[in-house]
Structure 1
Amino acid sequence: MPRYEYRCRACGDSFELSRPMSESSAPASCPAGHDDTVKLLSTVAMTGSSGASAPVARPAGGGCCGGGCCA
Structure 2
Amino acid sequence: MPRYEYRCRSCAATFELSRPMSASADPATCPEGHEDTVKLLSTVSVAGTAPSPSASTGAGGGCCGGGCCA
- TM-score when scaled to structure 1? 0.71
Counterpart residue type for residue 36 of structure 2: D
CA gap of 1:3–1:54, structure 2 versus 1, over 3 A, is: farther
Kindly provide the CA deviation profile for residues 20-55 of structure 1, in whole angstroms up to 9, marking residues without a partner as x: 000000000000000000000010011235x33356
Aligned to 1:29: 29
Tell me which protein shows more helix as a share of its residues.
Answer: 2
Q: CA RMSD in A?
A: 1.9
Which residue number corresponds to residue 52 of structure 2? 53
Match of 2:16 in 1: 16
Structure 2, unpaired ranges of 5+: 55-61
Which residue in 2 is equivalent to 1:64?
none
Unaligned runs of 5+ in 1: 61-71
Cα distance in 2 for residues equivalent to 1:29 and 1:48? 36
In structure 1, distance between residues paired with 2:21 and 2:41? 14
Task: Could you list the structure 1 runs, at least 4 aligned residues long, displaced by more than 3 angstroms after superposition.
Answer: none
In 2, Cα distance between equivalents of 1:47 and 1:4:
21
Task: Tell me how far apart the structure 2 counterparts of residues 19 and 54 of structure 1 sit (CA, whole Å).
Answer: 40
Residue 19 of structure 1 deviates from its aligned partner by 0.5
